[in-house]
Structure 1
């Protein structure tokens, strides 16, 4: 008997067959459609939408996996409303974005980790994922796009502090160490164990690097900062803190928005120009040194910076012509990207595996945390209904119209030989990731290929090859010795000198002294600087042999601070011997004396003492206000019927700080008039003077927070003022009445 196949079954079979035969070419996928008409980008470039809601919400960072897919960190809990209530809820997540029809636009997403509290960073390293959840740093193995075994790397990584002022970044550098913004530690997985080591405290949100391995970062009011030397090379001396070689402001802060700007301190003189346009950055973040190799050559190693408060992205030329990196506005009076869309909130920038530049757009109205948001900005955001722009998010891509990006490769399928070849790629992302995959594979059959690259003419490939060998435990002093005596390329020599410290030992000391003398004879500033920086380990095995080399460098550069700081760093523990035997010039002698005195007083560089982020005064004030004051006054400061009057527009908030402090210290009884209206209170307001858990600084912090959130003009008060006011008690030792408050001169 013949059976008729139902039409629905036949259609499904045909559709399934088409998928196997033709791939996804004919299948329709839902993709975001967002207009970019309000965005202006520099001539010669194009801005493309890669992903949008509903595939992601509130993205703050991304990373690409070895297949080239985008993984997003979504900080959904950040400022869910103007009061910031609910930010500690576990609403954050890490998602995998997929482009199944291969047209360059995300059409699917899947959650990898859910129920995270304020996640802020991630990094694909060591075959797994490093990420942040509830202030802790975790590493998780990845199995078929699912989380596997979890390891707690650092329980205090982003503990304490404001959500905008705690650790983030997680960037693997060329030296095989993972660096952060806003934290004084770096990380490395070595022989199955996580290493946590002190490093310089850098920036606020976002971190990047150049091809050499120097680090760049910024903070709200400083557009771009730079270290002039490789990380951790000028901080060897724990009793000396360099002030010149690291953390230098290298660009001006001028911005050129294309619309009137709503910013936190817009009411203050000089913040906005006469037309209401922002003059200088107030929330710069997410810097990127472009290393993609797919833009015109003039854009190679330009520094781009996010300015979310003004809805723009800056471009700076970096100048490497001397030992002091500098930057300048690329096009005077004009930004690389500027928008009139006030929801455009770029917070991070990344190089991509295709050579494009990727923009993480948090795309929301509120971009200022409650601990710092002023009444002025709160009202502006509410009037524009920007507080209602929530749960959006975009990933944008910048491509050149004149040069082509490359297809996104699948490095998970690449052979070790192919990965070695990619160390020569013009795309820094591919070089970086290939280096790390090669180290993870631990395939020693490529050692000869890496040595050949290290000795070749491609400077970038040579440096990556050296650190790949180091990561494979296959680097030898013989190779470094050959490089230091044969190559003339200063950047390769600098890294070879730094890596030579792994082999510092007495039997090799004569050879290293000869090499050092030969290098110094080349009369090259870069070589001389890294000679001074890299002899820290060698001087410990042969002090008398290497002290004269330091003396040569010192005398040649007696007036250059960067050299003097390098020498002090390397002379850790040998300062007195050097002063006694080498008769240093004034600058070096003063720095060495400072280090000697600090050691005697046991005063270390703070990075070697600080263990976790410190809660800033306004964030502490916010937390205390919510736990002590908001119950009656309301989280929004508008007051609660029959409990407490409003704080906004109150003469007690806008008036004398000492009077306000006295109310908080000693309490208030009876009716009170606020802004012309009398409030009959059912309960007395207790004072905090007898609360032993609150310090003078805590009470000052509460007042600072109320000033920032509710006052027309911010006024400050010190902990010492609070201490004095503790003794200025109400008559009879009870609570203040309104009459006594108004009659008392608190300023005496």
Structure 2
């Protein structure tokens, strides 16, 4: 009888909870009228906020503004909810980028001491930096990286005055980064897999023994500014230069790059601003004639997969700032037979759009309170100086309208649903590893990831048994009944990766997780099993081969990717997966790559040119080409319509190398072969002579079969035109071939 009463009580309670669950009306977006010719005037934060439009039901609040912050480029929180703001205080203070490389930038530390959501306390955490671009809180330490310097440091405030007084080198690399500001590493994040990723370069990192350990990837990572991950650690990059709002999300970069067709439709690339503007690098080709609005993404940056709990229906959506369009795109992320497909949920409209021409959203992030945070640089010029030189379309617009008058401002906002209340400020730094475990199931992904990271940093192995119990699914009947809001699969996923970060995952647990009911856990288990695959463990290899019959496409993709560690032993399995799933685009591409021994481009180049004179130049040049040139000229050098002309077959490439070197050194403006492109080609003189010789050797030698370029030739051209500041035009190059007579 007592058992019957208990069952009735539980059933009644469950029914009551279900009926009390809130529902939210469908979002309604009333797109405001477009202002085609906005007045260029600086507004107060409150006035500017009134010009920001969102769907009904969402509200935006001011968190901080100037003078507390200025030129904010990135945000991050420590475990106690204090906000670190990276500021590029020297970024484009005029059209010539005067003093841009001076060490006058900062990292600010902001705090909300009364819990009202507004920052009321600030301090200069780190001063005298050169354009900070990496900011990642660990525990009470913060990783910071700056422009041009490949060394990375951790900073700590040891006396609690809000100012860092400890600076420790955690990655030593004395080679200066000579690339343009837009093409350097940025946005380091702690991945779900406990690797630290950046937006660029062929490297990822592991934080071990208070140092960063570098791991080389098969290809450079595909992004520029902006990097985010979803709830399982899938990475999302973007390339502003290539006008690509999102890429790199079909597989982890540890296995190289994979791009599939139709991962969005063409309309996804078309933004819908509510303000006219002409300050577009691409010129009039990139604005709609009817209302002067941006017609293509051009400056995407600082994207975020929202994992908070204060915007119902938006969990897992990708938010993409477009500062030239003064808007933020919301993309629904769909899984279609394992393939990721992005869609704009609004019809010719955006989640956030402003009619204030100085609204420049450059960064978004899920906050510890569950809101979506936005960093607004609130400025005039948003394009880097290499593209605003004299003779460019953009320079004419800047000079005519006075965009260069607006700088040293900045606003930080948060967005959440009006029927929700932002969550409390966290206090995680002083909690023990055991106390942090409860947050691995938190509905806000910020708490889950920070709990995982902090447990790993504490190196406390006393929690291993409890974490193993979670992975084994020891939830218990009443826990699952009274906590129906917990995603237990996601909790097991975090527990498994936490064990991996502690180097405490046992082979037996990995084998168990490879059979988990949740495909997200199975994918993670297969990745973690690679430790044993590298050791030729027969039980793990057998378990991997047995997963050939798995029914989830994303699991099968990971099985095939991990099988690369044993190509001979797994070839039959991969072949069978290919046959069974020949109509699955994701698996067809993944298996085809796997069955090719040189499945990465860089490996193919190494194989092809290993016995060729100058082959090492071609391989080294590929990395630079992939990082810098392919953004506009395309991955195969065949050009991109309106962006840049083809390099394959170009007479400037196949002819006298001196002409090609001159273009790389000073850039090129004007029509090319009778066709106009979106702005000038930026100069790349910041690369040294060897780097330029290498990339031109790849372009001439590999793409055009015309031989390599000598480093000394680059030096001759650099010296001959060391005082030139202007872009070249084709007419000038034709009239002045080769070097000046005195330099020949």
1:17-96 matches, within 5 Å, as 34-35=46-47, 36-96=49-109
**1: CA distance between counterparts of 2:92 and 2:534?**
55
1:499 partnered with 2:551 = no
Structure 1 stretches of 5 or more lacking a match?
1-31, 236-241, 576-590, 619-651, 658-690, 709-714, 735-748
Give the TM-score taking structure 2 as reference length: 0.73
Q: Which deviates the most, 300-309 or 555-564?
A: 555-564
- Residue 610 of structure 1 and its aligned partner are, at CA, apart by 4.0
Match of 2:279 among 245, 263, 280: 263
1:226 partnered with 2:255 = no
**1: CA distance between counterparts of 2:324 and 2:318?**
19
1:554 partnered with 2:566 = no
**2: CA distance between counterparts of 1:396 and 1:592?**
42
Give the TM-score taking structure 1 as reference length: 0.72
1:526 partnered with 2:566 = no
SS of residue matched to 1:411: coil
Report the CA distance shift for 1:422/1:595 in structure 2 as closer, same or farther (over 3 A). same
Task: Write out per-residue CA displacement over residues 10-40 of structure 1, whole angstroms, 9 at most, x where no aligned residue.
Answer: xxxxxxxxxxxxxxxxxxxxxx963321211
**Residue of structure 1 in register with 2:311 after alignment:** 295
Task: Write out per-residue CA displacement over residues 575-597 of structure 1, whole angstroms, 9 at most, x where no aligned residue.
Answer: 7xxxxxxxxxxxxxxx6999678
1:167 partnered with 2:191 = no
**1: CA distance between counterparts of 2:578 and 2:427?**
50
Report the CA distance shift for 1:141/1:448 in structure 2 as closer, same or farther (over 3 A). same
**2: CA distance between counterparts of 1:184 and 1:379?**
37
Asked whether the equivalents of residues 222 and 281 of structure 1 are also in contact (C-alpha less than 8 Å), the reply is yes
Match of 1:129 among 118, 122, 142: 142
Report the CA distance shift for 1:353/1:324 in structure 2 as closer, same or farther (over 3 A). same
**Residue of structure 2 in register with 1:477 after alignment:** 507
**Residue of structure 2 in register with 1:464 after alignment:** 494
**2: CA distance between counterparts of 1:608 and 1:380?**
35
1:556-705 matches, within 5 Å, as 556-558=580-582, 562-563=586-587, 566-567=590-591, 599-602=607-610, 610=623, 694-696=715-717
**2: CA distance between counterparts of 1:515 and 1:266?**
53
**Residue of structure 1 in register with 2:18 after alignment:** none
**2: CA distance between counterparts of 1:118 and 1:593?**
33
1:358-507 matches, within 5 Å, as 358-373=373-388, 375-456=392-473, 458-485=488-515, 487-504=516-533
**2: CA distance between counterparts of 1:184 and 1:592?**
13
Report the CA distance shift for 1:243/1:451 in structure 2 as closer, same or farther (over 3 A). closer
> For the pair shown, which has the larger CA radius of gyration, 1 or 2?
1
Report the CA distance shift for 1:330/1:716 in structure 2 as closer, same or farther (over 3 A). farther
**Residue of structure 2 in register with 1:512 after alignment:** 540
**2: CA distance between counterparts of 1:249 and 1:412?**
41
SS of residue matched to 1:139: strand
- Residue 364 of structure 1 and its aligned partner are, at CA, apart by 1.0
Q: Which deviates the most, 136-145 or 178-187?
A: 136-145
- Residue 376 of structure 1 and its aligned partner are, at CA, apart by 3.8
Asked whether the equivalents of residues 351 and 358 of structure 1 are also in contact (C-alpha less than 8 Å), the reply is yes
Report the CA distance shift for 1:192/1:332 in structure 2 as closer, same or farther (over 3 A). same
**1: CA distance between counterparts of 2:671 and 2:440?**
64
**1: CA distance between counterparts of 2:561 and 2:68?**
48
1:126-205 matches, within 5 Å, as 127-136=140-149, 137-142=151-156, 143=158, 144=160, 145=162, 146-155=164-173, 159-199=177-217, 200-205=220-225
Q: Which deviates the most, 428-437 or 549-558?
A: 549-558
Q: Which deviates the most, 69-78 or 164-173?
A: 164-173
**Residue of structure 2 in register with 1:346 after alignment:** 361
**2: CA distance between counterparts of 1:700 and 1:716?**
16
**2: CA distance between counterparts of 1:248 and 1:222?**
15
Asked whether the equivalents of residues 306 and 346 of structure 1 are also in contact (C-alpha less than 8 Å), the reply is yes
**1: CA distance between counterparts of 2:369 and 2:449?**
13
Asked whether the equivalents of residues 516 and 549 of structure 1 are also in contact (C-alpha less than 8 Å), the reply is no
Task: Write out per-residue CA displacement over residues 691-737 of structure 1, whole angstroms, 9 at most, x where no aligned residue.
Answer: 9875558989998x7349xxxxxx55798x5883548x6xxx99xxx
Structure 2 stretches of 5 or more lacking a match?
1-43, 474-486, 632-667, 674-711
**Residue of structure 1 in register with 2:23 after alignment:** none
Counting matched residue pairs gives 599
Report the CA distance shift for 1:301/1:556 in structure 2 as closer, same or farther (over 3 A). same
- Residue 147 of structure 1 and its aligned partner are, at CA, apart by 3.0
Asked whether the equivalents of residues 464 and 504 of structure 2 are also in contact (C-alpha less than 8 Å), the reply is yes
**Residue of structure 2 in register with 1:744 after alignment:** none
Report the CA distance shift for 1:361/1:716 in structure 2 as closer, same or farther (over 3 A). farther
**1: CA distance between counterparts of 2:405 and 2:368?**
35
1:283 partnered with 2:299 = yes
Task: Write out per-residue CA displacement over residues 91-132 of structure 1, whole angstroms, 9 at most, x where no aligned residue.
Answer: 101110122333221122111111111112211126421112
Asked whether the equivalents of residues 140 and 147 of structure 1 are also in contact (C-alpha less than 8 Å), the reply is no
Report the CA distance shift for 1:177/1:95 in structure 2 as closer, same or farther (over 3 A). same
Q: Which deviates the most, 169-178 or 548-557?
A: 548-557
- Residue 470 of structure 1 and its aligned partner are, at CA, apart by 0.7
**1: CA distance between counterparts of 2:111 and 2:592?**
51
Asked whether the equivalents of residues 161 and 616 of structure 1 are also in contact (C-alpha less than 8 Å), the reply is no
- Residue 572 of structure 1 and its aligned partner are, at CA, apart by 8.1
**1: CA distance between counterparts of 2:197 and 2:191?**
7
SS of residue matched to 2:492: helix
SS of residue matched to 2:76: strand
Asked whether the equivalents of residues 78 and 140 of structure 2 are also in contact (C-alpha less than 8 Å), the reply is no
- Residue 415 of structure 1 and its aligned partner are, at CA, apart by 3.1
**2: CA distance between counterparts of 1:318 and 1:178?**
23
Report the CA distance shift for 1:383/1:506 in structure 2 as closer, same or farther (over 3 A). closer
**2: CA distance between counterparts of 1:117 and 1:593?**
34
**1: CA distance between counterparts of 2:549 and 2:394?**
60
**2: CA distance between counterparts of 1:343 and 1:158?**
33
